[in-house]
Amino acid sequence: VGSHEGAHAFTVGQRRGLALGVPASDGKPRFVLEVRPVSNTVVVGPKEALATAEIAGERFTWTGEAPPASDFACHVQIRAHAEPVPAHAMLGDGWVTVTPETPLDGVAPGQTAVLYDGTRVLGQFTIDRTVSAVAVGA
């Protein structure tokens, strides 16, 4: 729908400065949904598509011992000033996968997610993969 001088200039959730020139068919603003630096592609879409149903990462650390179960309830926080939200985590084959009870907004690979058991920090991981809560056509 447009061109740009480099994917490095965009962030997930960005609305301003897209300079698309052509309005969306529904007349609503578009937001950056994904930045693919290797192919220099910026994916845009409706605000609703920023909702994230699942996050995962392979670079994780625990504050003590790893959780005793590979499948456990927890809270997840993705921004320093955001409230932790109830979630479900699964461990397996070098990955942590977290599914929040309600979708998270505007999550991007590279962000850190912190896992809690009540007020106790369990550990953290760098988000490598996100799954949108809303199906968006290509």
Residues 6+ apart with CB under 8 A from 110: 126, 127
Tens-digit pLDDT profile for residues 29-81: 777 777 777 787 777 777 787 889 999 999 999 998 888 889 999 999 998 88
Q: What is the mean pLDDT of the chain?
A: 83
Q: pLDDT digit string (tens) for 82-122?
A: 899 999 999 988 899 999 999 998 788 889 999 999 999 99
Q: CA nearest 110: which of 63, 55, 28?
A: 55
Category of 88 on φ-ψ map: left (φ > 0), alpha (ψ -120 to 50) or beta: beta
59-62 and 51-57 beta bridge pairing: unpaired
Whole-number Å distance between alpha carbons of 123 and 80: 14
Q: Domains of the chain by range and CATH?
A: 7-45 (no CATH), 51-132 (2.40.30.10)
* pLDDT (mean) for 12-21: 68
Whether pLDDT at 8 is above 70? no
Instruction: Give the Cβ contact number of residue 72 at 10 Å.
Output: 15
Query: Can you read off the two tokens belonging to residue 24?
Result: 């969306």
Confidence grade of residue 24 (pLDDT, cut at 50, 70, 90) = low
The answer to whether residue 138 scores a pLDDT higher than 50 is no
Mean pLDDT of 18-30: 69
DSSP 6: -
Contact 86, 77 (CB under 8 A): no
What 8-state DSSP symbol labels residue 67?
P
Place of tokens 């949904």: 33
